[in-house]
């Protein structure tokens, strides 16, 4: 059973992914005909109306602003996949305007655990996190259960086929072996 668990990737997804990250490509797609026209025949824009110019400039400004915003706002974690065959954990973040993927090798992961965080009113909330060897905490998707964490730990444990990998460090309170 353990070998079957470790061969199939474990995927955890949040239901909060809203697919709004497609806005910049759509805006750039609307701008593409004008850019192609500009590259093919720049004199054609001279005859275009002022409304067409204002429209294209507005789309360009909106697309550029959305792109710049997506560079600084990473978004929330909406997916995590543990791929034992390639020894990589893939973290997916979806923001308002972009979607990004971060791949983390097993060797850079110390443990997976539930962390307690407190809101503004002081109420505790359990948050699943990936603890890196650099002691950085990466949150996992909302809805990750204790069972998912146990499965991730089992998949992250080095097998005899991976002799160079350090064992998981379970020195944190509440981390069962």
**Which structure tokens are listed for 174?**
């509440």
Report the alpha-carbon distance of residue 97 to residue 155 in Å, rounded: 33
pLDDT value at residue 1? 42
- Strand partners of residue 134: none
Per-residue model confidence as pLDDT tens for the chain (177 residues): 444 444 566 777 766 555 556 666 776 777 777 777 777 777 766 766 777 777 777 877 877 787 788 778 777 888 888 888 888 899 888 877 777 888 999 889 888 999 888 888 989 988 899 999 998 988 888 888 888 888 888 888 776 555 555 555 544 444 544
pLDDT value at residue 103? 93
**Which structure tokens are listed for 74?**
């990473």
Report the alpha-carbon distance of residue 129 to residue 110 in Å, rounded: 11
């Amino acid at each position: 059973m353990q070998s079957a668990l470790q061969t199939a990737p474990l995927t955890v997804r949040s239901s909060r992914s809203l697919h709004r990250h497609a806005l910049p490509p759509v805006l750039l797609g609307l701008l593409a005909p004008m850019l192609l026209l500009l590259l093919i025949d720049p004199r054609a824009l001279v005859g275009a109306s002022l409304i067409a110019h204002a429209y294209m400039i507005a789309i360009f400004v909106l697309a550029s602003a959305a792109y710049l915003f997506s560079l600084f706002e990473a978004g929330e974690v909406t997916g995590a996949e543990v791929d034992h065959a390639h020894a990589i954990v893939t973290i997916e973040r979806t923001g308002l305007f972009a979607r990004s993927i971060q791949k983390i090798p097993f060797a850079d992961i110390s443990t997976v655990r539930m962390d307690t965080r407190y809101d503004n009113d002081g109420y505790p909330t359990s948050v699943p996190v990936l603890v890196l060897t650099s002691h950085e905490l990466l949150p996992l998707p909302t809805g990750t259960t204790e069972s998912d964490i146990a499965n991730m730990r089992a998949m992250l444990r080095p097998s005899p086929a991976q002799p160079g990998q350090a064992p998981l460090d379970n020195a944190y309170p509440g981390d069962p072996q």
